[in-house]
Amino acid sequence: MLVSHFFDLIPIWLLLIGTILIMIVFIEYGFRLGKRAQAHAKKAQTSQVRAIMGAGLGLLAFMLAFTFATAQSHFEVRVQSLAEEARIARNAFMQADLLREPGRTQARQLLKDYVELRAELKEISGDNVAEQVAELIRMSENIHRQLWSLAAGSDGQSTLDASQIEQHDLFMVSVLALSDVHYTRVHSAIMNRIPLTIWMTLYLMAALAMIIMGYQAGLTDRRSPVATITLACAFSAVIILITDLDRPVMSFFEINKQLLVDLYEYMAADLRLEYFPND
């Protein structure tokens, strides 16, 4: 579920090196084509190739901007989902006080454990990142089921008055909302990805633009290795940033989880005060 296309299977540093090499190879290929055609090239043809090169690089820049904006919008949805999840979890924790024991204590402890998972206080590391994320999702959904069992449980509700039943229902609504925002966050992080077709088009356009640029340099028999490598690295860096921004587990970008960390500390302190009121 965590792998949408084969790019996710490649380490980000290896993908960066590979992209730079691909750019340089296509520039060199275009340069050699230009050298072969140099003897038969006319001045008008050189001007035409220069215009095509400008259009190709401009179109590539437009595609990069469009793809980056798409990845950025996905990232913003993930940030908003995190903030909404923290708000709902806090409300549910406070509304759990309206439950009867032992459901009250169980619900509050489950919510603390849930926020701990979502804040990723147990850091994801190592080689099996996908398996670790899948396990965190499984554990989160298991907590949802336990919370729903507490919220929907009818034991003892026959003795509650109308006001207490209404308060109990408020907790049930918060549990449902917490489950909804969880699926929104999972969808935005794992399933709502840039399509493979766009990635293929982006790399194809980058390759063609590099070939045309190299071809134009070959026709004029003038090129700068420094400029060539710099341009290849610049375009590759942008592509890698987009790739990382689109991945479920990012390397260069990080969502600020301070809201969840603060909420976890608040819940832990509140539970400690409940168990040890004299501390």
- At 241, which helix (H) or strand (E)? helix 225-246
Q: Cα separations (Å) of 278 from 7, 78, 195, 272, 275?
A: 55, 40, 57, 10, 9
Q: What number is the average pLDDT over the span 250-260?
A: 84
Confidence of residue 277 (pLDDT cuts 50, 70, 90): low
CA 36 – CA 41 distance, rounded (Å): 9
Note the pLDDT tens digit of each residue in 215-235. Answer: 888 888 777 888 888 988 999
CA 62 – CA 159 distance, rounded (Å): 66
Burial code of 29-57, b = ≥16 C-beta within 10 A, e = fewer?
bbbebbeeeeeeeeeeeeeebeebbeebb
CA 33 – CA 40 distance, rounded (Å): 12
- pLDDT at position 236 is 92
Q: Cα separations (Å) of 234 from 55, 62, 211, 228, 248?
A: 18, 15, 16, 10, 24
Q: Are 144 and 179 in contact (CB under 8 A)?
A: yes
- At 106, which helix (H) or strand (E)? helix 103-118
- pLDDT at position 254 is 81
pTM score: 0.78
DSSP letter assigned to residue 121:
-
Q: Cα separations (Å) of 261 from 6, 117, 133, 164, 241?
A: 33, 10, 18, 31, 27
Domain boundaries, the chain: 6-275
Q: Are 196 and 8 in contact (CB under 8 A)?
A: no
Nearest to 185, CA basis, from 109, 133, 230: 133
CA 79 – CA 1 distance, rounded (Å): 21
Residue predicted with more confidence, 175 or 129: 175
Is the pLDDT at 196 greater than 70? The verdict is yes
